[in-house]
Amino acid sequence: MTNRGEFTYSEIYSQPEMWSAALTVLKAQCADIVQLWQRGQYDHVIFTGCGSTYFLSLAAASLLQELSGQPARALPASELWLSPVSSYARQGKTLLVAVSRSGSTTETVRACEAFKRDGRGDLVTLSCYLDQPLAQLGALNIVLPSGQENSVVQTRAFSTLYLGVVALTALWTGNAALFDELAILPARGRRLLDNSAELAHSIGANLNLDRFYFLGSGLRHGLACEYALKMKEMSLTHSEPFHFMEFRHGPMSMVTESTVLVGLVSETNRAQELKVLDEMLDRGARIVSVGERDVEVAFRSGLSEAARSVLYLPFAQLIGYERSMAKGLNPDQPHNLTAVVKLA
């Protein structure tokens, strides 16, 4: 028998070391990753997954398009599988990047099988288990075993796989400086976990707070979606993600003194994003700003915006864990959930 929450706690705090292990794997496959992109001449790029890895895909598509100019988007694997006519362009060659912790999620596997059967282009897979179906399907299969977890809820799997797609983007865009920066992330991540643990506990354990909103724009919107999902999965708490500016258009009516608003602050649009947070502070919300500098949870990483984006993740995971524990729940085994969704 394990103690309640033991797996989740360990998986959150072990992330920096798991990122280092993942980077070793990715470095060994650099040549294959670059060769596939250069050979492919793709007209379209689609990232896909289910649940957490769909939100990862949202962030990945935004990042690739931002850094390369290559049109990229994200869709749930179920949409690719069940609604291919509305999902794929009618002409052109597509690169499909499928992400799955388990490598055996039914919708993802079936979407990839149909993609290959229909001859739409090339498939790249990222997963954490070599012996599962997804890791056998791609023209390139990247397996990051350091992301494996015992918990149902993804924490280190998400951040490790997300680090994987940041590395792919760096290699595909010829951005050697970005790829090299990733080696610095483990040390920055360890410091961030140590420095933010007390704040995460104080917010997560405060059961007078009853609603959480997570604001992120650009590639950070997918990460904000993952923030909200962690709160739902681990602690059965009302939580929703929004783009920064969209929060003014109706959702701010929900702000009360029992509201927590977490802002994933960028450098690019920092001034406008902080204005939104200040407005919600005036309406009584508990504001937590997360970003590189001069915010409550500051990375102080010295890294580029793309490289440091993975650092947004640990703080939200800690809040979800702390809230689950405060409510007497077990974040290792959330209500109604299983680690892998398999359909008959």
Statement: residue 40 has pLDDT above 70: yes
Are 6-183 and 185-326 in the same CATH fold?
A: yes
**Which CATH code for domain 6-183?**
3.40.50.10490
Contact 213, 240 (CB under 8 A): yes
Q: Which residue has the tokens 């797996």?
A: 7
The pLDDT score that the predictor gives to residue 318 is 97
pLDDT in tens, 63-74: 999 999 999 999
The pLDDT score that the predictor gives to residue 336 is 67
**Mean pLDDT of all residues belonging to the chain:** 95
CATH of the structural domain 185-326, one choice from 3.40.50.1980, 2.60.40.1120, 3.40.50.10490, 3.40.640.10: 3.40.50.10490
Statement: residue 18 has pLDDT above 70: yes
Statement: residue 151 has pLDDT above 80: yes
In the chain, domain spans: 6-183, 185-326
pLDDT in tens, 81-123: 999 999 999 999 999 999 999 999 999 999 999 999 999 999 9
